[in-house]
Structure 1
Amino acid sequence: METNHYFYVLHCKDDTYYGGYTTDPARRLKEHNNGTGAKYTRLPSRLPAEMIHIEKFASRSEATKAEYAFKKLTRKQKILYLSKKHP
């Protein structure tokens, strides 16, 4: 069975962005909003979070590289990246 690998971006209630990796975007969003996802999204001030971007990759390595690259961007660069992906 083929596994899909995804890099995703959440827009949090406090107007911040969180990038992550998953094989199941719906499950992962639910985990974040239940407070059982990443430490970053456990703060009540960041919830609820909305998944605003998803990219599918052939391998975990590619998806986690995209996640890492996104996390290194400044907020301004993240906004530009997201605007190019969502015209």
Structure 2
Amino acid sequence: MNPTGQPAVYILASQRHGTLYIGVTSNLIQRSWVHREEIIEGFSQRYGTHLLVYFELHATMQAAITREKQIKKWHRAWKVRLIEAENPNWDDLWPAITGESSGG
């Protein structure tokens, strides 16, 4: 898996069952880092959505944007089910996409 340069839809959370942020990007590692480090003022900084709990890679940016819009319209319970189907413990997936250990 190489999420750099591949369109992706992602969900960040403040904690398990916490505040959710849904976004789309062409560079999942860079975009996740920007959220984690609060480089840009905004939603993630305000609500602490730093945990990457779900992502999907797509072949095209248009496909990713379409999927992001679809998920954003969903009821919260559907979003939670989507996350928990792939990540039942709401683990931070940052180490999985970067190869870093979960401790750092």
Give the shorter-chain TM-score range.
0.7 to 0.9
CA contact (8 A) 2:6 2:26 kept: yes
Contact 2:20 2:49 in 1 (8 A): no
Q: Which amino acid aligns with 1:56?
A: L
Unaligned runs of 5+ in 1: none
Match of 2:6 in 1: 4
Deviations 1:24-83 (A, max 9, x none): 11111111122234732121xx22511111111110011011111111111111111222
The aligned counterpart of 1:21 is 24
* RMSD across aligned positions (CA): 2.1
- Which range is displaced more, 22-31 or 6-15? 6-15
For normalisation by structure 2, the TM-score amounts to 0.68
Identity of aligned residues (%): 20
Change (3 A) 1:36 1:60: same
Q: How many residues align?
A: 83
Q: Equivalent residues in 2 for 1:2-81 (5 A)? A: 3-13=5-15, 15-37=18-40, 39-43=42-46, 46-47=47-48, 49-81=50-82
